[in-house]
Chains A and B, each alone.
Chain A
Amino acid sequence: MNFGGLDLNTVWFALVGVLFTGYVILDGFDLGVGVLHLFVARRDEERRVFLNAIGPVWDGNEVWLVTGGGALFAAFPNVYATVFSGFYLAFMGLLCALIFRAVAIEFRSKHVSPRWRCFWDRSFALGSLGSTGLIGIAMGNIAWGVPIDARGEFAGSFLGLLHPYALLMGVTTIALFSMHGAIYLVLKTEGELQARIRASVNPLIITFILSYVILTLATLLYVPHVTEAFRREPWFFALVVPVVLAIANIPREVNRGREFFAFLSSCAAMAGLMAIFGVGNYPYLVYSQPMAAHSLTAFNAASSPKTLGIMLTIALIGLPVVLAYSISIYWIFRGKVRIDRMSY
């Protein structure tokens, strides 16, 4: 297919963003459920409710990461190669966390021994916490900038990735996903358990807002290339308004018992946050500091226009179909969790 004069590089910058936003919104809630698993669900039955709340969908949610990674590989191979090899140990840690988590969900309830279940419960919670934190740290480094040499290779070290700004982004991400997960759980549970989760929503929102405010201040003070984007295009600030409104709307909907709308608000807020992250960083995919000239952008790290065009065709055919059946599947599994013999 021929896309004429369309700026395919920018389109793919946006599309990779869309895929990762899909990942953050969808896997965000099931990772959040994992973070809350040990703290909020106490009895075996409650933990099974948690697992089955995400049971039918977590696997599909994780596919957004796989597809996002695949799209990054195809559209921006230089970014994929630099980031994945540069963040080697961090990504190996992420893989370990994701594997444990996936397998814990699948295996935990298949055997009744308490020690077996305790082991997998902890794996699930730690795996979720670890993945969430590492995703946040990776995003923090992308925004902050990492040292890139003239060949386009990462020139830093693993410990260099763990600076305060990245850790702050990690904490913010954990707070955000926990909040999102709690709201999802309110939607899927009932009775005493739901009341307990409901009570945790407001503190989680407050934790998130606090850490996000600190993160934003740090960004304004210390990450000039991101603030630059906002100074250049002040209308970007308009994106902040719906995010604030969406977050403010969550406690309101929870108190009214309109759980589905609370969840939608949370999803909207996350989409807005990712959009802010995207426009703040555009056109940089990996900002290089101290040598900004070595940065990898949507233009110097991309595949050929031919490939970007082919992939856009694939995405235009594939994504609507994916969205259609994903929504139908969420529809089939709507409503409160019921434990039956097919459950986790």
Chain B
Amino acid sequence: MDILTLSRLQFAFTISFHYLYPPLSIGLGVLLVAMEALWLKTRNPLYHQMARFWTKVFALTFAIGVATGIVMEFEFGTNWATYSRYVGDVFGSALAAEGIFAFFLESGFLAVLLFGWDKVGPKMHFFATCMVALGAHFSAIWIVVANSWMQTPAGFHIVGEGLRARAEVTDFWAMVFNPSSMDRLSHTIVGAWQAGAWLMVSIGAWYLLRRQHRAFALASMKLGLALSLTASVLTLVTGDRSAKGVAQNQPAKFAALEGLWETGPQAPLHVVGWVDAKAGTTHGIALPGMLSWLAHGDAAKPVTGLRDIPEDDRPPVNFTFQLFHLMVAIGFAMIGLALWAVWALVRGTLENSRVLLWFLVVSVLGPQIANQAGWWTAEVGRQPWIVYQLLRTSQSLSAVVSANQIVASMIMFTLVYLLLFAAFVFLLNEKIRHGPDETDLQPTGKLALGFKVAPGGAP
């Protein structure tokens, strides 16, 4: 394999593995804030017990997120040196801001969140939890801003020529608020909320199926489902906005998402399909005019087709198409499942519906697969560009790195990440089997200050 393919594979593998964890931290971060707020407000020790249990799960995901995140920061330089020289002036400042505003906040207050239970008062602990959650969201902001700049560059000019050319910032705020950054950021964050929320729902459902920790499971599921429902609906809203942005700013990607070949009005929307890029056709079930309507709010307006885009500038069409449709299908399924579960919860039938509970147990996979598919759509759909219409991926490699070196590092990452994943699953499984600590219903240390036991235990 050539250096380009190897470098892309390595980046895809390391970023995809990394991205299993930050969404969980972002989502669980929000839920931890909610649990601690409820604990402070109601003094119901059940919320204290929940916060302690979910903090442990949070710590596990956070540790791997940090360890695999450092790899990402290194890889821009190690494998994509030419890209780094080209974008350093723009991309680097967002990355530096991420370090200063987000990572320090997150990791600093994480210490208080994890180890400060007996050392600080409940309000200070709550504050620390809020800061960790805020830091997690900040880190999403800066990296998505930087990535969005690669999709829709703005606020820059090109200085120098040939190999020495690079992008330099002319307007910092135009760079930060480039045409796609806010839509993509909101979509990424609600996707991350889903990842955390469905994990909580899934573990709660597992306990209900096993008839264990009933009060804990029900309270976790209530909280998790509240966020799942909100976030899954918001995912639809933000996804629609993102797609409209793609239609406007990245016509090649938009045409690939839907396998649209001919430019024209009444563009069809595929529910499912298969693209034959050689023949230039797309077969499947399509709703006529829907794509024009979704993109422009008017079925009579034209959408650019792939035939009007030079072949050199087209992304891999079928791959982008399938990933996009997978993401959308899961997105709708999650809304359906959330509605079903909330309906059952309100009617009080949740605990007895084993089919529903089993669906909820596996629900944790939904947002993970959709988040991955979404990012793959975004990144593969931008090809052959690394910075849209400015720099091609094939021209961004490190000049001095050989294929053998990349193969060596690929083997290393594969072994290390497999080991990490195995250890993660093993420890998460142990935590789930161990369950919430009964002693956490009796807060100790500084948190012991005045709580009352609610009659019956459940909130």
Residues on A facing B (Cβ under 8 Å): 55-57, 59-60, 62-63, 65-67, 69-71, 73-78, 80-86, 88-89, 91-92, 95-96, 98-100, 102-103, 105-107, 110-111, 151, 153-155, 303-304, 306-307, 310-311, 314-315, 318-319, 322, 325-326, 329, 332-333, 340-343
Could you mark each residue 385-402 of chain B with 1 if its beta carbon is under 8 Å from any beta carbon of chain A, else 0? 000000000000011110
> Is B116 a contact partner of A95 (Cβ separation < 8 A)?
no
Q: A73-B77, A77-B87, A332-B112 are in contact. List 15 more A-B contacts (CB 8 A).
A: A55-B115, A60-B107, A62-B66, A67-B104, A70-B73, A73-B95, A74-B89, A74-B96, A81-B84, A89-B405, A107-B423, A107-B427, A310-B93, A322-B108, A333-B119
Known: A99-B67, A304-B89. A111 touches B115 (CB 8 A): no
Q: Note all chain B residues with C-beta closer than 8 A to A63.
A: 99, 103-104, 107-108
**B228 at the binding interface (Cβ < 8 Å):** no
Known: A66-B103, A98-B70. A342 touches B115 (CB 8 A): yes
Question: Considering only CB atoms, which chain A residue lies closest to B440 in the complex?
Answer: A341
**B282 at the binding interface (Cβ < 8 Å):** no
Q: Note all chain A residues with C-beta closer than 8 A to B111.
A: 55-57, 59-60, 329, 332-333
> Is B85 a contact partner of A77 (Cβ separation < 8 A)?
yes
Q: Note all chain B residues with C-beta closer than 8 A to A105.
A: 63
Which of B164-172, B286-294, B339-347 interfaces with chain A?
Answer: B164-172
Q: What is the bound-complex CA distance between A56 and B96, given in angstroms?
A: 24
Could you mark each residue 54-69 of chain B with 1 if its beta carbon is under 8 Å from any beta carbon of chain A, else 0? 0000011001101111
> Is A106 a contact partner of B400 (Cβ separation < 8 A)?
no
> Is A88 a contact partner of B409 (Cβ separation < 8 A)?
yes
Q: Which label, helix, strand, loop or mixed, suits the secondary structure of the A interface? A: helix
> Is A332 a contact partner of B100 (Cβ separation < 8 A)?
no
> Is A103 a contact partner of B114 (Cβ separation < 8 A)?
no
Q: How far is the CB of A82 from chain B (nearest CB, A)?
A: 7
Q: Note all chain A residues with C-beta closer than 8 A to B170.
A: 306
Question: Considering only CB atoms, which chain B residue lies closest to A57 in the complex?
Answer: B111
Known: A60-B107, A96-B412. A303 touches B99 (CB 8 A): no
**Contacting residues of chain B (156-212) with chain A, CB-CB under 8 angstroms:** 159, 163, 166, 168-170, 172
Q: How far is the CB of B200 from chain A (nearest CB, A)?
A: 20
Q: Which label, helix, strand, loop or mixed, suits the secondary structure of the B interface? A: helix
> Is B67 a contact partner of A303 (Cβ separation < 8 A)?
no
Q: Number of residue pairs across A and B with beta carbons under 8 Å?
A: 230
Q: Note all chain B residues with C-beta closer than 8 A to A74.
A: 88-89, 91-93, 95-96
Known: A67-B99, A70-B96, A304-B89. A85 touches B400 (CB 8 A): yes
**B441 at the binding interface (Cβ < 8 Å):** no
Residues on B facing A (Cβ under 8 Å): 59-60, 63-64, 66-71, 73-74, 76-79, 81-82, 84-85, 87-93, 95-101, 103-105, 107-112, 114-120, 159, 163, 166, 168-170, 172, 398-401, 405, 408-409, 412, 416, 420, 423, 426-427, 430, 437
Question: Considering only CB atoms, which chain A residue lies closest to B88 in the complex?
Answer: A77
Closest 6 CB pairs of A and B: A77-B88, A84-B77, A74-B92, A67-B99, A318-B100, A56-B111
Q: Note all chain A residues with C-beta closer than 8 A to B105.
A: 325
> Is B399 a contact partner of A75 (Cβ separation < 8 A)?
no
> Is B98 a contact partner of A332 (Cβ separation < 8 A)?
no
Most-contacted residue by chain B among A73, A98, A111, A306 (CB, 10 A): A73
Q: What is the bound-complex CA distance between A153 and B115, given in angstroms?
A: 46
> Is A153 a contact partner of B100 (Cβ separation < 8 A)?
no
Question: Considering only CB atoms, which chain A residue lies closest to B117 in the complex?
Answer: A342
Q: How far is the CB of B118 from chain A (nearest CB, A)?
A: 7
Q: What is the bound-complex CA distance between A332 and B446, given in angstroms?
A: 13
Question: What are 11 of the A-B contact pairs (CB < 8 Å)?
Answer: A62-B66, A63-B103, A63-B108, A71-B99, A73-B88, A77-B166, A110-B430, A303-B168, A322-B104, A326-B104, A326-B108
Q: Note all chain A residues with C-beta closer than 8 A to B71.
A: 95, 99
Most-contacted residue by chain A among B67, B412, B427, B437 (CB, 10 A): B67
> Is A306 a contact partner of B169 (Cβ separation < 8 A)?
yes
Question: Considering only CB atoms, which chain B residue lies closest to A303 in the complex?
Answer: B89
Q: Note all chain B residues with C-beta closer than 8 A to A311.
A: 93, 96-97
Q: What is the bound-complex CA distance between A67 and B103, given in angstroms?
A: 8
Question: Considering only CB atoms, which chain A residue lies closest to B111 in the complex?
Answer: A56
Q: How far is the CB of B133 from chain A (nearest CB, A)?
A: 15
Q: What is the bound-complex CA distance between A151 and B163, given in angstroms?
A: 9
Q: What is the bound-complex CA distance between A343 and B71, given in angstroms?
A: 27
> Is A307 a contact partner of B89 (Cβ separation < 8 A)?
yes
